[in-house]
Amino acid sequence: MMIRTKIIGTGSYLPERVVSNREVGALLGIEPAVVSRLTGIQERRRAAASQASSDLAVEAARPALEAAGLPVSELGAIVLSTTSPDTVFPSTACHVQRMLGCSTIPAFDVAASCSGFLYGLSMADAMIRSGQVKTCLVVAAEVKSRSVDPADGDTALLFGDGAGAVVLRGEPEAGQLSRGLLGLRLHADGAQHGLITIPAGGSRRPTTSGTVEAKSHTLRMQGAPLFRLAVKRLDQAIREIVKEFGVDVQDIAQLVLHQANGRILDQLTKRLGVSPERVCSVIGRYGNTSSASLPIALDHAVRSGRILPHDIVLLGSFGGGVTWAAGLVRW
């Protein structure tokens, strides 16, 4: 019997504190209207001092589990994406496992930057279809504000904090029109690793007083070349996966993409020839929440009624590494 992985619940969480364009622009001498024009962002959220990525993850997981109608006791595994883990080890997923109260099930982190949610979704899909588990929580949680230099305009204007989650369950296939994940395709190009990175804090450049003084533990990004590569690679990945599965782009009900900035979403919308109404956008309200942005946008699209049963939904992301990914779902 063939098993197909189905998304049975979505959830998201955004911290209470709202950070306006006026606030982030003040240190940089940039007017709020200019920030909005450059990024498509009006505001972003910031985690409280007491909150870590695991706290945000749990807050996103609970509504996803509720929407799925799945008790924590029936959860089979946890896969978590983050670039801002609670600790170097143990994994943030293990912290989430403890906080949810579902001990002994497998729990691990995925490190694929802004593509991490789709990488995690692929790992969870493989576990379900191979029979290792029947259900899985895939969650992405980011506290990006703690790795951003507020004096760096390339990053300070963009990033916010948040978390998004989905609950997956394996169900018997019922022919070609079975609902669930149709396919996920992952890509990476390590030769471009320098386009977006946090230079210090790992084994290559351990923490020293010098690295702290040089702000080498903050996010560094080459905005213009990263923008061009993101548009090129994601456009290519989307075209490849729809061709592989025989789907016309015009038949896609919603494109849910990594919310990097408004200009990237606009460029992809034009390149693909789809109407803006079919491209889910929450970038204006929440900013770039790294790997959490896609599941946050997905939850928004589901709860606002933009995604309905049997709709074809396209998922796409691009991030550091560089990494990128695309997926198709029949909802």
Q: Choosing from 94, 261, 288, 300, which is the catalytic residue?
A: 288
Which H or E element spans position 97? helix 92-100
Residues 6+ apart with CB under 8 A from 175: none
Active site residue 94: no
Q: What are phi and psi of 46, to 5 degrees?
A: -130, 135
258 is catalytic: yes
User: Computed over its alpha carbons, how large is the radius of gyration of the chain?
Assistant: 19
Residue 258's H or E segment, with its range, is: none
Q: How far is CA 32 from CA 24, 87, 222, 326, in A?
A: 8, 35, 22, 33
- Annotation marks residue 288 as catalytic: yes
Q: How far apart, in whole angstroms, are the C-alpha atoms of residue 58 and residue 54?
A: 6
First to last CA, the chain: 21
Q: Which of 94, 102, 114, 280 is catalytic?
A: 114
**How many angstroms separate the CA atoms of 271 and 101, rounded?**
45
Return all residues near 199 (Cβ < 8 A) that are at least 6 apart: 205, 211, 216, 217, 220
User: Which structure tokens are listed for 194?
Assistant: 């320098």
Residue type, 70: L
Cα–Cα separations (whole angstroms), residue 19 to 44, 82, 289: 5, 21, 13
Catalytic residue among 258, 261, 280, 300: 258
CA 55, CA 284: separation in Å to the nearest integer? 24
CB distance 289 to 265 below 8 Å:
no
Q: Which of 135, 126, 134 is nearest to 167 (CA)?
A: 135
CA atoms within 13 A on the CB side of 273: 5
CA distance 107 to 137: 9
Contact (Cβ atoms closer than 8 angstroms) between residue 84 and residue 53: yes
Catalytic site residues? 114, 258, 288
